[in-house]
Structure formats: C-alpha cells, structure tokens
Amino acid sequence: MVNQDVWDSAVLKKLELPGQVIVKNRIWRAATWMGMANPDGTINDTLIETYSKIKAGLVFTGFQYVSPEGKALPGQISNSKPEDFKGLKRLADAIHSTGSLAGAQLVHCGKSANPRYWEGETAFGPSDVEVQSPPGGKLKVKAMTIEQIDGVTQAYAEGAKRAVDAGFDAINIHGAHGYQLWQFFDPALNKRPADDPYTGITLEGRSKAMIEAILAVKNVVDVPVFVKVNSSSNGTKPEEVGELVKKISNSGACLAIISGSNATRNPKEVGEAYFLEEAKVIKETVGDT
C-alpha cells in the first residue's frame, strides 16, 4: 500500500512540458540500451513485448542511431533510413498501449561507433586518434570533415521527424557518455585547432555541434526536446557543463538530463543519486535560465 506521503509528493504529480504535453507523473523510464533489436537495427516482437510491459509517465527508448556509421552496439535500434518508420511506429504504439508517453533517444556514437556494423574501415570523431578495440586491438579514428558534421546534424533532424511522425511524444538527444556530441565538447577528445569552427579550444567551438543538432531538431518537430549531457569528464568540470546547459536551454531544449561515464570506463562509484553533487553545481551555474 502506498502511504500518503508518496501520494502527496511531486513524484506522482502531473508535469506540463512545452507544447502542452502533459506527463501524468514524474516516474520516467530512462533511455538505456537493451540490445534487443535485430542485427540490422529493425524492431522485432521481443522489443515490442518488452516495451508493452513498461508503465511510466514517460518511457524513453534506448539510443537509436541516426546514421549507419553512428552505430556502436549490437541490438541497437536503427532510426537512420525511411524504412525504419514502420518499426518505430510499432514501438511507439506499444509504449502508448500502457498509457505512457513515448520518447525517442537519438545518437551518433562518433569515435565509439564500430565500423563492422557498416562494413567500414574506421570510425569518425572530432580528431584523429587511436582507440582501444577489443579484443586487445586498436582502431584508428578519423577526424570528421565539416561536411560530415553537417551530415550528422541533418541525420539528427531526419531521425527526430521520423520518430515524431511515427508517434513519439518527445525527443531525447544523447549528448553524453563519450558519444559524438560529447566528444566535440570534451577538450580531452576534441583537438581541432583554433581556426576550426568546431575547435576544442573554446567553449563556443566545443558546444557548436551539440547546439546545431538541437536547433536542427527543433526546426522540424514541435515536441519537447531533452538533451542528455555528462556531469563532468576527464576534460570538463561541472561549471563548464553548466555553461553548456545555458546554451542548450537557449536553443529551445526544455530539459537537460545530467548523466556521466563514457563508452569505455566509469570511474565513479555507484550509489543513490550519484550525480547529485555535480547537478547542484550545474544548476547553480545555470541559474534561472
């Protein structure tokens, strides 16, 4: 039996998001990878059955890759081509069947993507680097050209529109965990020079790819847009993330999800509310934006 304190708490109260989207409570399913999609990223009955059993105010899918060369993991959902629409609609309908709102998380994994999934020779990121590639090998990562960055930005917009047309109620842009958008923001990963518009030297240059992705998505959909960011990383501090969140807010996103870790390691010990202290610093930096 639920006690009165829980019923009276904010957790079970409605929340109105931009666009008059009403979420019936504050219990949301986080966007975590399940690894259940078909090898080509298409939706199958197992995914449909799984999501049809999740009941919450808002249910986010695991990250959907918006471009073939942005796929990192097996069983990752594809939202990279028109043919994906039918499966995405089935997925949105399954989530709605429980009375939940449906949110689609979109990602390009950048240097953390795995070329074997698109029969490529290399992954692409902000800079030329070598990364660990199991078992025990190394993978060369090529710096993205301006044209490639523009292409990924457009892919985010196309993926968002496809998801919304399929029935999703919100978009969650994955700008954390060492994936493409965070790679550009983290100066430890972004070594582009001062004369590059996406330079890793200035906050403006580091933020540019993420902000452009948000603006591109906002330009084609009229639903709430969330952005997941790291609370910090090897190359950033929470205060800098706070400055990034200001830009995210000014670009039209309604909420920043504070997270952490990267694709290869998580040095932080897990406990309850384990990004709370960083989130406090970020909120203080952001102020009333």
Alpha-carbon distance of 84 to 68, in angstroms, equals: 12
Alpha-carbon distance of 236 to 230, in angstroms, equals: 9
Catalytic annotation on 65?
no
Which one-letter amino acid corresponds to residue 170?
A: A
Give Cα separations from 228 to 130, 177, 251 (angstroms): 26, 9, 14
Alpha-carbon distance of 196 to 145, in angstroms, equals: 10
229, 179 Cβ separation under 8 angstroms: no
Q: Where are the beta strands (DSSP E) in 108-261?
A: 123-125, 129-133, 137-143, 170-175, 225-230, 255-259
- 3-state DSSP assignment of residue 125: strand
Contact residues for 191 (Cβ-Cβ < 8 A; gap 6+): 126, 127, 129, 200
Both ends of the chain: CA-CA distance in Å? 39
DSSP 49-97: HHHTT--SSEEEPSPEESSGGG--STTPEE-SSGGGHHHHHHHHHHHHT
Residue 227 burial class via C-beta count within 10 angstroms: exposed 0-12, middle 13-18, buried 19 and up: buried
Q: Which of 51, 65, 117, 179 is catalytic?
A: 179
Catalytic residue positions, numbered: 179
